[in-house]
Chain A
Amino acid sequence: MIRAAAIAAITLFFGTLEAFAKSDESLVTELSSQTVSIQSNFTGTEIVIFGQAQEIQYRPDTDLDYDLVIVVEGPPQDITTRRKGRLLGVWVNREAETFSNVPSFYAVASTADISEIAGRALLDEHAIGLNHINLAVSGESNVSLSDRDDFRRAFVRLRQDMGLYSERETSITFLTETMFRTNIPLPANIPVGDYVVKSFLFHEGDLIANTNDHLRVAKTGFEQITFELAREHSFVYGVLAVILAIFTGWLAGVIFRKD
């Protein structure tokens, strides 16, 4: 299915390229699909990003002074990171730090090591790379300043373990001298919402072009109905769960009746 989508996207992409070929855009990008639907058999998928960077004359054997970075960012969340400590012999959550407005999903693909592509200020400004995401802490916190970085590192590591944050250097491949593609895996636990795919073209440390594409991750069909019912009409959802349970129990009682 992914392959079929990719082929369709390539066809579409070449169509788009023709249109762009005459324009002086130095960076053009296209997604393999605009939406990702989550259904009952959803176990993760991947999104393919194609693009053309006109000024690049990519040759594997020469030093590339052009660099590409593609960042896929999910809708923002407020996330609390907690650390366990021993209390009366039992391990319980003691300190907590809440990071506000952090991306629920963050994947970056690039042509080189992020730190070699551009200066720190530029990377911070565009939140390029796991070390450059803006992890703003909320006001209240019982974490000492010296421990904050431990919480930041733990947060990024846990998100990486869940497959929700990733940094894959040199994962952008060139199909021709100017055309590139990369795949970003989207794991099964991916949050729903509106995503932004940001592509950046750097030349010797300067940002010379960037594009934004939009991706929508949504539950569809039964998953969507169930999810929305549970969120927006929770009483009806609860009653429905009870009716279903009583009916199942009653049915079993009747089927397996012994006397």
Chain B
Amino acid sequence: MSAVFRRSPVQLYLPIAEIPVNIFVIFGMGGAVGFLSGLFGIGGGFLLTPLLIFSGIPPAVSVATVTTQVVASSASAVVTYWRRKAIDLKLASVLLAGGIFGSLIGVILFDILQAIGQLDVVISLSYVTFLGTIGGLMLVESVRAMRRRRSGEPPRARKPGQHNWVHGLPLKVRFRRSKLYVSVIPVVGLGAAIGFLGTVLGIGGGFMMVPALIYLLRVPTSIVIGTSLFQILFTMAAATIFHAMGTKTVDIVLAMTLMVGGVIGAQFGARMGQNLRGDQLRLLLALLVLGVGLRFAVDLLLVPEDLYSIAIQKGAGL
């Protein structure tokens, strides 16, 4: 290896990751993912974390730092929904209680996996599974919607008052804002599941939370996004603190660069998104999600370039 080091103004040394990065590349990544998240109305964690991992930031630092970035991007959106009063605070609080618990379990598992050297493969496998499933479902749904529109067939309306197994569970609580009377068990469970996944994978989980709230709990669509964002904001805030204390991999300099890029990109994305139709957007998003999932799958299946890897367990720099 040649040992020529130049001092360059675009190189930024990350104090926790302990590597220098090109500040414009990181800023650009934040901006690009922010643009997409504004375009599709998603948090973007599931795109940003893989992007950082693929660009050579250690997976542990990527995951923990993106939880911080998600706090910023959801805080920005929560302000808008708060003003419109489109948040069910009671529902969000119950979800949050579950979320914090799930997040705590997530950090503990993260620590264990890191110690035994299986963190990277678990992150990759989980991404393949979730992105594959959700991308596939979205692809099918959006293609169906486009066909329906072309044939002029009206979308099937859901019957009001339709119930599923969730509504038969005990410990029912009334959520006035959402016009719901439902058991707290699935609400806490849902919060915990998303909090857990978010902490381990570095995603907000909005793309799983929103469909679950709509189809499983029947939360009105006008309230669902604000409530989901509110819960994600505080679950990810908890995840940031847990990661900072447990895995010590939150890089505040990396997070800040991503945040600034992200919030700016999101504004442009949101503007462009208004000119595209819903089913087209969902098709694009589905392809994007599947693409990222596929990339992880390829990395897992192909013979690695190097079979060996090293990890510092104790001593300097730790």
Cβ contacts under 8 Å, A79 to chain B: 310-313
How far, in angstroms, from A221 to B12 measured CA to CA in the complex?
A: 14
**CB within 8 A of A77: which of B8, B18, B117, B312?**
B312
Q: B171 on the interface (CB 8 Å rule)?
A: no
Give the residues in chain B near A157, CB-CB below 8 Å. 308
> Which residues in B have their C-beta under 8 angstroms from that of A257?
80
Q: Are A84 and B304 in contact (CB under 8 A)?
A: yes
Q: List CB contacts (< 8 Å) of A183-241 with chain B.
A: 185, 187-189, 191-193, 219, 222-223, 226-227, 230-231, 234-235, 237-241
CB–CB A235/B255 < 8 A:
no
* Docked complex: B190-247 residues within 8 A CB-CB of A: 233, 237, 240-245
Q: Nearest CB to that of A249 among chain B residues?
A: B75
Instruction: Flag B292-307 by CB within 8 Å of A: 1 or 0 each.
Output: 0000000011111011
Contact of B309 among A78, A93, A187, A241 (CB under 8 A): A93
Question: Which residues between 52 and 106 of chain B lie within 8 Å of chain A, taking CB atoms?
Answer: 68-69, 71-80, 83
CA distance A227 to B251 in the complex (A): 9
| Cβ of B256 under 8 Å from chain A | yes
Complex contacts, B266 vs chain A, CB 8 Å: 252
Q: Smallest CB–CB gap between B37 and chain A, Å?
A: 12
Contact B19 A81 (CB under 8 A): no
Please report the C-alpha to C-alpha distance between residue A26 and residue B109 in the assembled complex, in whole angstroms: 57
Tell whether A40 is near chain B: CB-to-CB under 8 Å.
yes
Instruction: Digitize A84-97: 1 where CB-to-B-CB distance is under 8 Å, 0 elsewhere.
Output: 11000111110010
Task: Tell whether, in the assembled complex, residue A249 and residue B316 are in contact, meaning their CB atoms are under 8 Å apart.
Answer: no
B253 within 8 A of A: yes
Whether A227 touches B316, Cβ cut-off 8 Å, given contacts A92-B118, A252-B76, A253-B75, is: no
A257 to B241, CA, bound (A): 29
Contact A226-B16, Cβ < 8 Å, known A77-B312, A253-B77:
yes
Determine if A84 and B259 form an interchain contact, defined as CB atoms under 8 angstroms apart: no
B250 near A237: Cβ-Cβ < 8 Å: yes
Q: Are B316 and A193 in contact (CB under 8 A)?
A: yes
**Interchain CB contact (< 8 A) of B255 among A82, A96, A245:** A245
- B247 (CB) vs chain A CBs: closest residue: A234
List chain B residues, Cβ under 8 A from A191: 18, 316-317
Are A159's CB and B310's CB within 8 A? Answer: yes
Distance in Å: Cβ of A148 to nearest Cβ of chain B: 13
Contact at A238–B316, with CB atoms within 8 Å? Answer: no
In the complex the two chains form, is B252's CB within 8 Å of A192's CB? no
Which residues of B lie under 8 Å from residue A151 when comparing CB positions?
A: 308
Question: Is the CB–CB distance between B314 and A78 below 8 Å?
Answer: yes
Question: CA separation between A258 and B274, bound complex, in Å?
Answer: 13
What's the interface size class on A, roughly? 35 or more
Q: Is the CB of B76 within 8 A of A244?
A: no
Contact (Cβ within 8 A) B11 A41: yes
- Smallest CB–CB gap between B244 and chain A, Å? 3
Segment 158-189 of A: residues with Cβ below 8 Å from B = 158-161, 163, 166, 185, 187-189
Confirm or deny: B1 has a beta carbon within 8 angstroms of a beta carbon on chain A: yes
List the A residue with the shortest CB-CB distance to B1: A163
B76 contacts A90, C-beta separation under 8 Å: no
Q: In the bound complex, what is the Cα–Cα distance between A92 and B119 (angstroms)?
A: 10
Q: Are B313 and A250 in contact (CB under 8 A)?
A: no
Indicate if A154 sits at the interface (CB-CB under 8 A). yes
Contact (Cβ within 8 A) A82 B308: yes
Residue A42 is within 8 A (CB to CB) of chain B in the complex: yes
| Nearest CB of A to B39, in Å | 15
Cβ-based interface call for A124 (8 A): no
A248-B256, A249-B263, A254-B79 known; A92+B121 contact, CB < 8 A: yes
Query: Given the complex, which residues of B lie within 8 Å of A104, measured CB to CB?
Result: 312, 315-317
Cβ-neighbour of A231 out of B3, B79, B248, B313 (below 8 A): B248
Task: Tell me whether B288 is interfacial, beta carbon within 8 Å.
Answer: no
Counting CB contacts under 8 A, is A43 at the interface?
yes
Q: Give CA–CA (A188, B190) in the complex, Å.
A: 43
Q: Which residues of A contact B69 (CB under 8 A)?
A: 245
Residue of A nearest to B302 (CB): A91
The smallest beta-carbon distance between B75 and chain A, in angstroms, is 3
Instruction: Report the minimum CB–CB distance from B313 to chain A (whole Å).
Output: 4
Docked complex Cα distance between A80 and B314 (Å): 10
How far is the CB of A188 from the nearest CB of chain B, in Å?
5
Identify which of B20, B78, B256, B300 contacts A188 (C-beta below 8 A). B20
Q: Does B7 contact A (CB under 8 A)?
A: yes
Instruction: For B301, list chain A residues within 8 Å (CB).
Output: 89-91
Chain B residues with Cβ below 8 Å from A237 are 244, 250, 252
In the complex, chain A residues whose CB is within 8 Å of the CB of B304: 84, 91
Query: Given known contacts A41-B7, A231-B248, A254-B79, is B312 in contact with A249 (CB within 8 Å)?
Result: no
Sort A-B residue pairs by CB-CB distance and give the 3 closest, nearest first.
A249-B75, A238-B244, A77-B315
Besides the contacts A41-B13, A78-B312, A189-B19, what 9 more A-B pairs have beta carbons closer than 8 Å? A41-B9, A160-B1, A230-B244, A230-B250, A234-B244, A234-B245, A241-B68, A242-B68, A258-B80
A-B contact pairs, 26 of them (CB 8 A): A40-B12, A43-B13, A45-B5, A79-B310, A81-B308, A90-B300, A92-B121, A155-B310, A163-B3, A185-B3, A189-B19, A192-B317, A219-B15, A234-B245, A238-B241, A238-B243, A242-B241, A246-B72, A248-B72, A248-B75, A249-B74, A249-B78, A250-B76, A253-B77, A254-B79, A258-B80
